[in-house]
Amino acid sequence: MVCDAGGLSAPSSAPPWAGPVLAAEILYKHDLEVEAVIPALIASIIGYSVFGAWSGWNPIFVTHGSLAFTSPPQLLYYVVLGLLCGLIGLLYARGFYGITHRFHRLRLPKWVKAGIGGLLVGLIGLVLPQALGMGYGWVQVSMGPGLLSLPLWVILALPFAKILTTGLSIGSGGSGGIFGPGMVIGAMVGASVWRLCYHVLPGVPWQRVRGACAAWWRAP
């Protein structure tokens, strides 16, 4: 199972070493599965090689600008970002399981529960259509100059709307995953901090750290 996690996460995270690190951390809250690192690394390298040979070696998300550390004010940005990502990650986990638990308590047929969940997701989508779908495109937008074209209220509301739509979609009985929405949530948290701080901290980079994933994975 750990090797599968390493092999499958490598294509999405691009560097093959990210897969085994995640696989070793994700099983435990206060420990590492050290013995799984080498097998997971092998699976990760093979998985990334197959993916690259088939789909190309270009990264999934294209960054703009330099990733180099250039000014001390960036550190303040990342401190604030880390704190917010931890809180949003906690909200994501508790919100998801809370919504799922409430749907399980409803004494209704499964198709009715799914219909209620779909209706609520649709209503959210009418107000904020960016919260629908996988959302990887919005992750890319958050990493480039196109971020400035989005209204600030959309950027601020999108993480919370994505938490609701994910919980309602899966908790009501629908199919889906939590990895992709977590990327969108974390990216938009970073985008929100950047939009609010880029006049005050001109040295912060365009790139956002999607640290919310680390919070709800409990695997930094």
**Is pLDDT larger for residue 21 or for residue 13?**
21
Q: What is the mean pLDDT of the chain?
A: 77
38 with 23: CB under 8 angstroms? no
Mean pLDDT for the stretch of residues 69-77: 70
Residue 31 is predicted with a pLDDT of 65
Say which range, 12-26, 33-47, 179-193, has the weakest mean pLDDT: 12-26
Q: What is this structure's pTM?
A: 0.76
192 with 155: CB under 8 angstroms? yes
Residue 190 is predicted with a pLDDT of 81
Give backbone dihedrals phi and psi of 57, rounded to 5 degrees, phi first.
-100, 5
Of 172, 208, 204, residue with least CA distance to 190: 208
- Cα separation, 213 vs 49, in Å, equals 24
Say which range, 72-76, 147-151, 171-175, has the weakest mean pLDDT: 72-76
Residue 176 is predicted with a pLDDT of 80
Q: Is the dihedral of CA 99, 130, 22, 40 positive or negative?
A: positive
